[in-house]
Amino acid sequence: MLNTRTADIEQQASTGSLPGWDDVDALVSATYDRLRDDRDGTVADYIPKLAAAEPDQFGIAVADVAGGTHDVGDAWAPFTIQSISKAFVYALVAEVLGHEVVGERIGVNNTGLPFDSVVAIELNDGHPMNPMVNAGAIATTALLPGASPDEKWSRLVAALSAFAGHRLSIDEQVYASESASNDRNRALGQLLRSYGRLDADPAETVDLYTRQCALLVSAHDLAVMGATLADGGVNPVSGEQVVSPEVCRDTLAVLAASGLYEHSGEWLFEIGVPGKSGVSGGIVAIAPGKGAIGAFSPRLDEAGNSVRGQRAAAQLSRALGLNVFASRSAAAASGARI
């Protein structure tokens, strides 16, 4: 079971809006102070460039749907988005193709297996199952609109930049490092093609997926991107309508089921909001109608999820009343006697 070290944090009911500005600032700072010396987990080493990450970096950001942002520590430190990109590329594709097509082609069910599993494809007749594992993300990227890889890339960068509220750039060194050690993803692309599940060229699609994972973001960016999904597709800082409310609903449902890979059930049990992680140490946790948490800490658990990021999300979910399953009786809330 995920150890989020939050037993001493009072659970607030998931009702209404976030607390006041000063209260959120204080809670974000208190969470950072509580976890700043946590050294659990290890930095990803299967991608050479990621292995060189500074393991002690740690930042937390909270963005609310009213446009307020709260940052502490290394909240503005850049890192590559990695698998968190899957959520926002899925939203882009769902916006273009619609609920039914994407649901049928990609799926929404958790595999219960590691994010780069080949067995999961074989067990499901070549179906990628969900867009948050690598096979599903590759299949999703193949559905991007555009007549060429360059056109698809331009659409992708523009969409993810709109979620963040500013133009995102690529870390060319990480892109090169991942491309040089990308045999498993290339194999997944070929396997999907062999089952008739990939219409686009596998090599071009995997290259496009690798590039999207190398886009640079910060914990602050992740909080704003998550808050855009929390606010019906409107970026709360820029005011731009990035995707529709229906796409936000679908994306958040997929994240709730599969955003933390085979630990998704534990995440939902402990933290209670849709979320997504990436192997560079980023995590985004999204409370519909309220806002989002972005966290960055490179030390990961065995499933590839940031340890401190999960613990920060757990503490803030409880303290800010984000858990969508937490409630209290109407009678108790009103002070009525039972």
pLDDT of residue 338: 39
pLDDT of residue 129: 72
Q: Check the annotation: does 279 bind a ligand.
A: yes
* pTM of the model as a whole: 0.91
Judge whether 195 counts as a catalytic residue: no
In angstroms, the first-to-last Cα distance of the chain is 36
Q: Check the annotation: does 261 bind a ligand.
A: yes
pLDDT of residue 5: 52
Q: Check the annotation: does 117 bind a ligand.
A: no
User: Smallest Cα–Cα separation from 324: which of 269, 277, 284, 276?
Assistant: 269
Which residues, other chains included, contact 23 with Cβ-Cβ below 8 Å and sequence gap of 6+?
none
Domains 21-82+216-327 and 85-213 are alike in CATH topology: yes
Low-confidence ranges of the chain (pLDDT < 70): 1-16, 112-116, 124, 126-127, 329-338
Query: For the chain, what is the largest distance between any 2 Cα atoms, rounded to a whole number of angstroms?
Result: 66
The one catalytic residue among 83, 264, 280, 297:
83
pLDDT of residue 2: 56
Q: Which CATH superfamily is domain 85-213 in?
A: DD-peptidase/beta-lactamase superfamily (3.40.710.10)
Judge whether 32 counts as a catalytic residue: no
Distance CA 229, CA 63 (A): 11
Judge whether 154 counts as a catalytic residue: no
Q: What is the residue whose two structure tokens read 């409630």?
A: 327
Distance CA 86, CA 67 (A): 24
Give domain 21-82+216-327's CATH architecture: 3-Layer(aba) Sandwich (3.40)
Judge whether 175 counts as a catalytic residue: no
Listed by start position, the domains of the chain span 21-82+216-327, 85-213
